[in-house]
Structure formats: C-alpha cells, structure tokens
C-alpha cells in the first residue's frame, strides 16, 4: 500500500458536515443512504460526499473531536514525552491533510493546527526512522514490532525500509562471497 491508496481509503470514513440546504429524500449510494439533509443540522456522511458537497459550497465540514486544538496539543505533548508511538486516529495524517488543504475555511485556528500537525508528523517520522535504523543495526535482524503506527506511516516507511533491506542483503552477499582466511 502506498500513501495515495491510504488517501483513497479515507474517502469512505465518516465525517460530520453541516448542510446548507434541505433535502427530505436521502441520497441513495452504493454504500447505503445518506441523508435526509436539513440546513444547519449536523449529519455524518462519507468523506468523499463531504468533499463533493464542499466543492459545491453546499456544506461546511465539521472538525472531528480528535482534531481540535486542545486534543492536538495533547497528542503533540504525549508524542514528545513518549519514546514509543502514542495512539492516534488511524487516518490521522490523511484526514489532517484533507482538512487543512480542502476545508481550511471550516477549521478554527488553521495556522496553529497546521503547525501542530507538522510537529506531530516530524516527531513520529523521526521515531520511525530511528526505529528502522535500530532494527537494521540489531543482529540478527529478524522481526520487529511497532505499536500504534498508522497505515499511512507504514506506507511512508515502506520505501526506505525496502531500500535499506536491499542494501543490507547486497552487503551480506558480497561479504559471504569473499574468501575466508
């Protein structure tokens, strides 16, 4: 899986919106019904529906509870205080990117939210790289366990982990082919 596929999977996640229109009949979608819609009354819809309605300027996207400034500050502090990975929403980074880029007018404290999300990403990606380096530096390297990392982070790490594995394998092959004294 790559980061783009993670973004695609986000499309089916539920998110709350406030419609700017009334529609008594629910929309019939492959995944089920969405609606009815009443202007100003919060409603949960798949992300892709929220984005489409947002493009048409017929709704505002509500910030998820875990994405408000207070919660983000708690996550940032906990991440900085922990040597491991703290538990975050499974689609944290995909949702953060979507909200910051496509629903920025709907977010409170956008600049501070953006900065905190970037700080969380920097801290977690640094931990991820350090964990990978420690894993490949251990002898013998056979398996590793990293709790609380998201699918997006796995997709992000896959590239440099694969490259590092290939380099180590090549070095091992060269070392094994050298004459023994």
Give residue-wise pLDDT tens across range 82-115.
Answer: 999 999 999 999 999 999 999 999 998 999 999 9
Structural domain contains residue 43: yes
Structural domain contains residue 25: yes
pTM over 0.85: no
Structural domain contains residue 2: no
Distance CA 172, CA 136 (A): 13
Same domain assignment for residues 126 and 39: no
Same domain assignment for residues 84 and 147: yes
Q: Among 30-34, 42-46, 52-56, 109-113, which stretch is predicted with the lowest mean pLDDT?
A: 30-34
* Cβ–Cβ < 8 Å for 40, 19: yes
Same domain assignment for residues 87 and 129: yes
Q: What pLDDT was estimated at residue 14? A: 94
Q: What pLDDT was estimated at residue 139? A: 58
Same domain assignment for residues 142 and 72: yes
Q: What pLDDT was estimated at residue 121? A: 96
Same domain assignment for residues 23 and 53: yes
How would residue 157 be classed by pLDDT, with cut points 50, 70 and 90?
confident
Distance CA 150, CA 90 (A): 5
Distance CA 120, CA 80 (A): 8
Strands ordered across the beta sheet of 59-61: 43-46, 14-19, 59-61
CATH of the domain at 89: 1.20.58.1020
Does the pLDDT at position 161 exceed 60? yes
Same domain assignment for residues 86 and 140: yes
Q: Which domain holds residue 120?
A: 63-163
Residue-averaged pLDDT of the chain = 87
Same domain assignment for residues 49 and 103: no
Radius of gyration of the chain (CA): 21
What's the structural domain count of the chain?
Answer: 2
Same domain assignment for residues 58 and 84: no
* Furthest C-alpha separation in the chain: 84
């Amino acid at each position: 899986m790559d980061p783009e596929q993670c973004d695609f999977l986000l499309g089916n996640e539920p998110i709350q919106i406030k419609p700017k229109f009334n529609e008594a009949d629910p929309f019939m979608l492959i995944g089920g019904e969405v609606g009815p819609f009443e202007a100003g009354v919060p409603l949960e819809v798949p992300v892709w529906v929220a984005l489409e309605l947002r493009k048409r300027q017929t709704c505002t996207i509500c910030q998820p509870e875990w994405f408000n400034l207070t919660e983000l500050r708690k996550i940032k502090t906990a991440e900085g205080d922990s040597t491991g990975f703290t538990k975050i929403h499974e689609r944290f980074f995909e949702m953060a990117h979507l909200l910051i880029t496509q629903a920025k007018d709907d977010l409170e404290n956008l600049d501070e939210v953006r900065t905190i999300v970037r700080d969380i990403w920097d801290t977690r990606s640094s931990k991820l790289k350090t964990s990978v380096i420690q894993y490949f530096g251990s002898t013998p390297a056979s398996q590793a366990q990293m709790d609380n990392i998201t699918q997006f982070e796995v997709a992000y790490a896959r590239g440099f982990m694969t490259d590092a594995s290939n380099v180590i394998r090549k070095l091992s092959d060269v070392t094994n082919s050298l004459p023994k004294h």
